[in-house]
Chain A
Amino acid sequence: MSPPKFVLLSFRAKRGICFFSKATRTADSSSLSLLGTTKVAAVLLVLCSLPLLRAQSPELPAGPVQAKLTTACTECHESRIIIQQRLSKTAWTKEVDKMIKWGALVDPVDRDSFIEYLSTNFPPDKAPEQMPRVAANKKR
């Protein structure tokens, strides 16, 4: 049994632009055949089509540190990881400090305003966030 080829696409859909961070690879990189290329192009088209763009990460709420926080905090993961949390100021402080330790680039002068912004916008008593669904092929 010969190992299967595993074509892999790594994509990032960020802020309305659809681009690919990595080229496609197959088991035998020299065999990126015409068929493969066509398939890749088809996938690319699908990925860049409307549904994906509509489902981009939501914008973080307006506020004095919105832009800085978006840059610092959506580098590794999207905003949904942040906006689904409902945390106290103490808990947000721990989160921000953990992320800084893990490599988030936060100017020390911004740390407190980040915590303030997060605990104001995503406090424990706010209603839970409604999350989107993955497109279904069949109606459930």
Chain B
Amino acid sequence: MISRRDFLRGVSGAVAAAGAIHPLLTWAADDSAVVIPGEEGLIVRSARFLDLEMPPAFIDSWITPVPHFFVRNHMHEPSTLDAATWELKVSGEVEKPLTLNFADMVRMEPHTVTNTLECAGNGRAFQRPRVPGVQWQRGAVGTARFSGPRLRDILHQAGVKPTGKHVMFHGLDEVPSKVPPFIRSIPIEKAIDEDTLIAMRMNGAELTRHHGFPARALVPGWIGAASCKWLSEIKVLDKEFDGNFMKPGYRYPNHPLKPGDPLNVDDSHPLTALNVKSVIASPTDDWTSKSRTVNIHGAAWAGDADIVKVEVSTDSGATWQAAQLGRDRAKYAWRLWSHSWKAPQVGDYTILSRATDSQGRTQPETADWNPSGYLYNAYDQVKIHVAT
């Protein structure tokens, strides 16, 4: 981690400086709203496949209500989802392959994990040079209480053989034409972690269709893509799953790349845990404050590490003040934070936030660039005008 900024400085100070502050992006005040039952107020990045982003102003509660929770689909949603006929097959490197139905799953002891789920591509729109993919800004993230049986209880029933090293998830999403299916795997150590679930409920209610009904993997602290929706198959493998969404998809360079350079897949690793990151929920970009006193607040998270500090700068990074961390906390969940600030005078201000975690990581001024824009975590930034 030490090398990142030094690297960028060494390679190209100009590039680092240019990317330091992401450009002003404004939210659409759009009256041509799209009707999507069960969802509310989200930004439509795509209606088919469904990709919906939460506006940052919605981060006003520790738990994100399901209608505000971002949706990320890679393919068509299953056209039929029927709890009565749904089955989950467990196979591969196991002593006793299993087929579990909805009732079997409901009978198993449930466990609840409050988890901040973030798409690996969240913030991609701020990467320079620009990268292809869903152009998420701040809101491909949310926090919910997920519950369901532990994956390890299911694996225990099946009896993992000593050769079982990775666990593959496959869902019911419908794959068009020659598109590679959305299949990924996680290492066995994470699969048998006490907090890795096959979630069937979200915030106390059954999963909705867009969030993976009837069951999804929930791999806490890790990129959203690990938590496969509409789960129908769990397969224990002797090696990492080899397919598009493990390689070249969802991979991260082992060494920092020069912005614009291609990824060398043989010198990269699959993405796992999320980065340390904070976002400003309020004020929003371009906001005009009618008061000198501005309540700055947002959320910060760090995958499987804890947030230890969030700092706010109201002078473009010259000085930083510690924000107050919210009381609600859980191992894999974000911390809300807030900071009350009195503007010294009328004028334009750039407000920044940066988080530090229990592993000693601090959000950088410039995020590491990679060709798919994964794990973007530069300081968050909003520009506001104080009018009186």
Residues of A at under 8 Å CB distance from B? 1-6, 8, 10, 12-13, 21-22, 25-28, 43, 46-47, 49, 51-52, 54-55, 57, 75-78, 80-81, 84-88, 91, 94-95, 101-104, 124, 128-138, 140
Contact = CB atoms under 8 A, between A and B. Distances in A.
A120 B130 CA distance: 15
A22 B43 CA distance: 26
Interface stretch (B1-9, B78-86, B358-366): B78-86
Given A10-B79, A103-B178, A135-B35, A140 B125 contact: no
B192 interface: no
A134 B36 contact: yes
Contacts of A133: 28, 30, 33-34, 41-44, 55
Given A49-B35, A134-B36, A1 B106 contact: yes
Given A137-B40, A140-B57, A124 B130 contact: yes
Nearest to A8: B81
Interface in B319-359: none
A47 B35 contact: yes
A87 B177 CA distance: 25
B134 A131 contact: no
B37 interface: yes
A95 B131 CA distance: 11
Contacts of B49: 76-77, 81
B20 to A, nearest CB: 18
Given A55-B32, A101-B178, A134 B46 contact: no
Nearest to A80: B46
B213 interface: yes
B41 A134 contact: yes
Contacts of A102: 176-180
Contact of B129 (A78, A88, A103): A88
A4 B86 CA distance: 11
A6 B34 contact: no
Given A49-B35, A76-B177, A124-B130, A6 B43 contact: no
B206 interface: yes
Contact of A78 (B32, B33, B47, B67): B47
Contact of A134 (B33, B81, B179, B214): B33
Contacts of B131: 91
Interface string B24-62: 010010101111110111111111110110010110000
B209 interface: yes
Interface of B: 25, 28, 30, 32-37, 39-49, 51-52, 55, 57-58, 67, 76-77, 79-86, 102-103, 106, 125, 129-132, 134-135, 176-180, 206, 209, 213-214
A15 B16 CA distance: 44
A45 to B, nearest CB: 11
A37 to B, nearest CB: 18
Nearest to A128: B25
Given A87-B130, A133-B41, A134-B52, A55 B80 contact: no
A128 B179 contact: no
Contacts of A128: 25, 125, 135
Contacts of A91: 130-132
Contacts of A55: 32-35, 44, 47
Contacts of B81: 6, 8
14 contacts: A3-B86, A3-B102, A3-B103, A46-B37, A47-B35, A49-B35, A52-B35, A57-B48, A76-B176, A94-B132, A95-B132, A131-B43, A134-B33, A135-B33
Contact of A1 (B43, B103, B135): B103
Given A51-B34, A103-B178, A134-B33, 8 more contacts: A6-B82, A6-B209, A6-B214, A27-B83, A55-B32, A77-B48, A87-B130, A87-B132
Nearest to A47: B35
B35 A6 contact: no
Contact of B206 (A4, A22, A51): A4
